[in-house]
Structure 1
């Protein structure tokens, strides 16, 4: 029996470091269910890792409303969306920071800062937009479906 892919897969995660691993797991699981080739899944896994890492680093925690409050501070979240296209899949990650993503020139000694350069190199195209209904931005990348080398 053939299953029709869901039109969109969404996942909201707390903006914590372990969210990156959950974003990768979710992406791989969904793309396997959608019968994407293994090579495309690997590219998508790497890209979602970079997009989620950037979103978590730039997500702003909610401002405390009362310093005497006994409630714990609320966590910021990142929102992951995947949707299939005729050519592949669009990956997107939303965060609460309205600043646009800016690729940086890689410092050879730096341990980070190359995420968007990798995104530019591996995605067929990428970009960002500010949703009208919420603060922040959504960064997206399109991954083409490739031929599976195991076929």
Structure 2
């Protein structure tokens, strides 16, 4: 099983959107028995809560399920559980690296999947309100990520 986790600050906007989109692509591609997708936040403010209303509305509009998704906090144990740790911005990456075990972990930045984009971080729609922009980035980046995983693991 290949394990992917997306990480943002509170785990209610960006990372659950990426989790839902990636899960959808994994299921559509027939890889659900080979790729597991999760998300987490570096903060603990929203633990146990569902995705943000803006994320839910956006996912509903494109018919992507977020069923049973609740926020959780990234923990040091995640370093041994996940093959791909993908942070939505530099601050999240720094916070993950600062955890015990983080200095050795391979941590990817989401926007590195989209090198032709001007943005180098996924904007936080909790502050910007622009869930559409985040969805466009997440959708494109998840395509790149899935194709990369398929190629790297010969799926």
- TM-score normalised by L of structure 2: 0.30
- TM-score normalised by L of structure 1: 0.30
Structure with the largest fraction of strand? 1
Structure with the largest fraction of helix? 2
